[in-house]
Amino acid sequence: MEPIFLRINDVIKLTSISRSSIYRMISEGDFPVQISVGNRQVRWSRQEVLDWCEEKLATAK
């Protein structure tokens, strides 16, 4: 079973986008926002990241 939440390194591997670009796009409202899961720990919803990727593919055509 695949994880529901992704760490930043997993998001980078999945999207091939750099850490700084991910955070810039979050601040611009163009990438899913991270979720706080504990003290100084954030994760991304795997489904939200996959949905974002699908949306980018769909608009690129």
- Residue ranges of alpha helices (H) inside the chain are 8-15, 19-27, 46-60
Convert the pLDDT of each residue in 6-59 to its tens digit.
999 999 999 999 999 999 999 999 999 999 999 999 999 999 999 999 999 999
Beta bridge partners of 38: 41
pLDDT surpasses 90 at 61: no
Phi, psi of 41 (to 5 degrees): -130, 130
Residue 54 structure tokens: 């699908």
pLDDT surpasses 90 at 2: no
- CB-based contacts of 5: which residues, under 8 Å, 6+ apart? 35, 37, 43, 44, 45, 46
